[in-house]
Amino acid sequence: MVRRPKNKINPPSSNSDWPLETEIVGLEFELATKVDVSLYPQYTIGLHAWFLDQVRSTNPELSAYLHDGESEKPFTISALDGELVSSGKQLKILANQTYRWYVTALSNRVVQWLAQWVKNLPTEVSLRNAPLQILGCNVVHPPTTYAQLLDAEHGENLSLRFISPTSFRRKGHHLPLPLPMNVFHSYLRRWNDFSGIPVDQDSFLDWIDESVLITRHQIASMKILAGKKGAVTGFTGSVEFSLAKQATQNTEFSRLFYALGKLAPYCGTGHKTTFGLGQTRLGWSSQVVAEVPEVESLLASRIAELTEIFTSQRKRTGGDRASEVASKWATILARREMGESLQVVANDLQMPYETVKTYAKLARRALKVE
C-alpha cells in the first residue's frame, strides 16, 4: 500500500508545529521489539490503559474527563497494524518487525495535550510482558479544524475503507452493516460534541435516509473481541456513497455530508473506537482486510457462544442488566479457559478480584446446568 509522506517526529523529543487552533489530528507510532514476545488476545485493553495512564501522569484533570466524561470519547486508538501470529493461546509479536499504532484526537483540549506529549515521548509502549520500543511518531492525518473540513474540496462520490472490524449498536444488538443512517449518525455524534458547529440530528438523519445511496461495496464480516468484555461481529472492506439528485438542493447538509466523510479517518466508525474497532480511511481499495489471528477469533467466538447461553438463561430478568452480566460472565470464563489468571482478568476489567472470582464460579455453575 502506498503511504503518503508524513511529518516526522523523532522520539523521545520532538517539536510540534501544529497550529494552536487545531481541533483534530492523527498520529502513527512505529513500534518494534528486539525479540519475539507473546501478547494476550485482548491486548487492545492494554493499549487503551497505557494511553490513558500517559494522560493521567501529566494531566490528571484531562484524564478524569477521558475516563468519566458522559460525551463521546475525544480520541481513538487502533490495534497493532502488522503481522501478529497465533501461538497456542497467545499472539506473538515478531522481532525486528515494525508495527504501526494509530492515535487520533478529536478536540482541541486533547490535541494540545498530544502536542506537548510528543515533545518528550516515552521510549516504549508497555504492554503486559511485551514492551514495544517507540521507533518514531508520524502525523498521518493532518492537523485541521472542523470548520476547515466543511470548506474542504471534495469529489462527487465518497468512498470509505473500513480497515478494522466495524459495528453499530441497534436495539441492544450489534449491526455489522454500513447502512448510511448508522454510518453518518456515528460521525454526527462526534461532530455535534466537538465541532462547536452543531446540527439538528433528526433533520440531518432524515436527509441522510432520503438522500444517501450506496453505489458499490465490497465487505466481509468477522467475529472480533470488543474492548474489555464481550465480542461483536463487525464488517471490513470498502463502501462508496453518493447523493441522490435532489440532495444537493440542501447545500448545508450536502456540505456536512462530505465534511463528515473527511472526519471519518479521525473519529473512526461505529462503537468501541477507543479499543481498535472502526478504523476508517478515505478512498476505495479492493484489497481484502486480513483476518484476525486464529486465537483471537476463537476467543471471540467462545465469548459470543457463552454470552448467548447466559443471556438465554437470564431471559426472565431481561433488560440491559441481564445482558451486561451475561457478557461479563462470558468474558471472564472464556479468558479463564484460555489460561489467564483471574487476577489479570480482574485488572483488565477494572473489577475487584473477589467479584471476578465469584462471577467465574457462577458462570461455571450455569454452564453445568446448560
pLDDT of residue 4: 36
Hey, how many other C-beta atoms are within 10 angstroms of the C-beta on 85? Answer: 14
Separation between Cα atoms, residue 28 and residue 6, nearest integer Å: 9
69 falls in which pLDDT band (50, 70, 90)? low
Average pLDDT over residues 59-86: 88
> Which of 122, 144, 166 marks a domain boundary?
144
Is there a domain that residue 361 lies in?
A: yes
Shared-domain flag, residues 29 and 120: yes
Give the percent of the chain with pLDDT over 70: 92
How confident is the model over 207-219, as a mean pLDDT? 96
Residue 287 lies in a domain: no
Name the domain boundary from 127, 144, 161: 144
In a domain, 1, yes or no: no
pLDDT given for residue 369 in this prediction: 67
Per-residue pLDDT at 319: 61
Long-range contacts of 216-222, Cβ-Cβ distance < 8 Å, separation of 24 or more: 216/240, 217/178, 218/286, 219/162, 219/178, 220/288, 220/289, 221/165, 221/176, 222/165, 222/291, 222/292, 222/297
Measured CA to CA, the distance from residue 280 to residue 165 in angstroms comes to 10
- The whole-number average pLDDT for the span 322-334 is 85
- Residues 134 and 151 reside in one and the same domain: no
Would you give the DSSP letter of residue 78?
Answer: B
Q: Are 276 and 44 in contact (CB under 8 A)?
A: yes
pLDDT over threshold 80, residue 344: yes
Is the residue at 2 inside a domain? no
Predicted local distance difference test score (pLDDT) of residue 161: 97
Contact 276, 77 (CB under 8 A): yes
- Looking at the structure, do residues 124 and 159 belong to the same domain, yes or no? no
Question: Is 111 inside any structural domain?
Answer: yes
Tell whether 288 is covered by a domain.
Answer: no
| Whether 274 and 308 share a structural domain | no
Assess if residue 273 is contained within a domain.
yes
Residue 64 contacts by C-beta under 8 Å, 6 or more apart in sequence?
none
- 245 vs 95, 211, 212, 213, CA distance in Å? 53, 8, 10, 11
Task: Please check whether residues 163 and 223 belong to one and the same domain.
Answer: yes
Residue 41: pLDDT above 70?
yes
Which of the four pLDDT bands, split at 50, 70 and 90, describes residue 1? Answer: very low
Residues 271, 363, single domain; the answer is: no
Give the range of the structural domain holding residue 123, as residue numbers without chain letter.
7-144
- Does 207 lie in the same domain as 298? no
Burial class (CB in 10 A: 0-12, 13-18, 19+), 123: exposed
Q: Quick one: pLDDT at residue 15?
A: 42
State the pLDDT at residue 136. Answer: 93
Q: Which amino acid is at 198?
A: P
**Percent of the chain whose pLDDT exceeds 90:** 56
What pLDDT, on a 0 to 100 scale, did the predictor assign at position 155?
86
**pLDDT, mean of residues 164-169:** 92
The pLDDT of residue 345 is 85
CATH code assigned at 134: 3.30.70.1890
Q: What rounded mean pLDDT belongs to the chain?
A: 88
pLDDT in tens, 267-277: 999 999 999 99
CA distances from 44 to 120, 273, 275, 276, 341 (A): 23, 11, 6, 7, 18
- Output the domain CATH number for residue 246: 3.30.70.1900
Same-domain status, 165 and 244: yes
Asked if pLDDT for residue 316 goes beyond 80, the answer is no
Residue 7: is its pLDDT beyond 90? no
3-state class of 24 per DSSP? strand
Of residues 75 and 369, more confidence is placed in 75
Query: Which is higher by pLDDT, 249 or 2?
Result: 249
pLDDT band at residue 311, thresholds of 50, 70 and 90?
confident
Q: Would the pLDDT of 8 be above 90?
A: no
- Grid look-up 440531518 returns 204
Measured CA angle at 307 (ends 294, 296), to 5 deg? 15
pLDDT for res 12: 44
Give this prediction's pTM.
0.86
pLDDT at 167: 94
Strands 173-175 and 168-170 come out as antiparallel
Last residue of a domain, one of 252, 282, 312: 282
Average pLDDT over residues 154-160: 93
Q: How far is CA 150 from the centre of its chain?
A: 24
Number of domains in the chain: 3
Other Cβ atoms less than 10 A from the Cβ of 237: the count is 21
Residues 140 and 174 in one domain: no
pLDDT in tens, 252-297: 999 999 999 999 999 999 999 999 999 999 999 888 777 777 777 7
CA torsion angle 173 179 182 185 (round to 10): 180
Can you give the pLDDT at residue 147? Answer: 97
In tens, the pLDDT along 54-68 reads 999 999 999 988 887
Residue 136 DSSP one-character state: E
Helix ranges (DSSP H) in the chain = 44-58, 60-68, 108-117, 146-151, 180-194, 201-211, 251-267, 294-313, 319-337, 342-349, 353-369
Answer with the residue of higher pLDDT: 129 or 29: 29
pLDDT of the residue at 352: 92
Is there a contact between 150 and 141 (Cβ–Cβ < 8 Å)?
Answer: no
- Looking at residue 326, what is its pLDDT? 87
